[in-house]
Chain A
């Protein structure tokens, strides 16, 4: 039960992207297409889960004065490994994501979870927390990317990063009605603002009946 609670906590209540405003840089930047967004999410989930596990396993050995530098070295090493793997196996995705792969090192979500959760909890719970938070990040970036790609290109598509095969490609809005603004930075900001406001509406709607009952 508590494991499930950990998992759902990261997905909804403490969604790192829309509720806590963490890791915004990469969310806004790589949410231009669904393929990029999912590729980035996989990289983040991998780094987040493994770093949570390592830091949790070492939590009794690391002196508290130098814990932040130790965390950063662990995270930087993992990110470099993921970067090299992506460069070797998914070169197109690697080029598309560019500088945002090495910048996972300074993604606030990862250091934040290491400090707030993995340094105090067991290995198993930290692994679950890493996956839950990673899925919360994925949900956030996926929503943003679907909306942006739909309005900017009129189609929803996903490309297999390993062999460039098209998994699906559905055109919904005819090309003459697309809004190219959504592919630009301004579109990212507007879409994000609207989604964050909707989450706020949802939260407030959830609060009111609870108050009446009490």
Chain B
């Protein structure tokens, strides 16, 4: 039950984009088309899930026994950067078509704050292994969900008649504000 509420609250209530403002760069950058939003969501889910588990294991079994906790930031970001590189190489070798679809978004994931946030949050909250698995899965699901809804709205916005100064990003921000309001209505869910 506890795990379930952790899962639901990470997706809807403490949504990574609308509540914690993380991952804004891809949120504004790759939300013009639903198909690319879906690709980005998939890639981010994959990277967050595996890199957070690796960093969790590293912290628990290497940094903590050696009392090197202060090295967390440097090791985590290196692991994330090399993991993204590895994923890119594997996809390129085994599935050129998927690589073509995701190609440009993959390197961007390193600087997606959501990835580093999940790795740090797993440690800070003192999650057990099972809790980290649930949390590292729920956060990117929430990210993908909001990204897809947002990109669908933006596709419609493109054909709407928007006042000139608001065109592009400002009106997208207002859409994000309305979505944040809607999601804050789910606060009493768990």
Point out residues on A near B: beta carbons under 8 Å: 21-22, 24-26, 28-29, 68-69, 72-73, 76-77, 79-80, 83-84, 99, 102-103, 105-108, 111, 184-190, 192-194, 196-198, 200-201, 204
Contact = CB atoms under 8 A, between A and B. Distances in A.
Given A69-B78, A186-B177, A204-B165, 5 more contacts: A25-B113, A103-B116, A106-B77, A184-B180, A197-B170
A14 B51 CA distance: 34
Interface in B122-175: 124, 164-166, 169-174
Nearest to A190: B177
A105 B116 contact: yes
A210 B174 CA distance: 31
Contact of A73 (B22, B74, B169): B74
Contacts of B166: 193, 197, 200
Contact of B173 (A79, A184, A193, A198): A193
A94 to B, nearest CB: 13
A136 to B, nearest CB: 17
B170 A200 contact: yes
A76 B120 contact: no
Contacts, number: 116
Nearest to A184: B184
Interface in B54-95: 70, 73-74, 77-78, 81-82
Interface in B86-121: 110-113, 115-117, 120-121
A186 to B, nearest CB: 4
B181 interface: yes
B8 interface: no
B112 A106 contact: yes
Given A76-B74, A99-B121, A186-B181, A193 B170 contact: yes
A25 B23 contact: yes
A77 B70 CA distance: 10
Given A69-B78, A76-B77, A103-B116, A190 B174 contact: yes
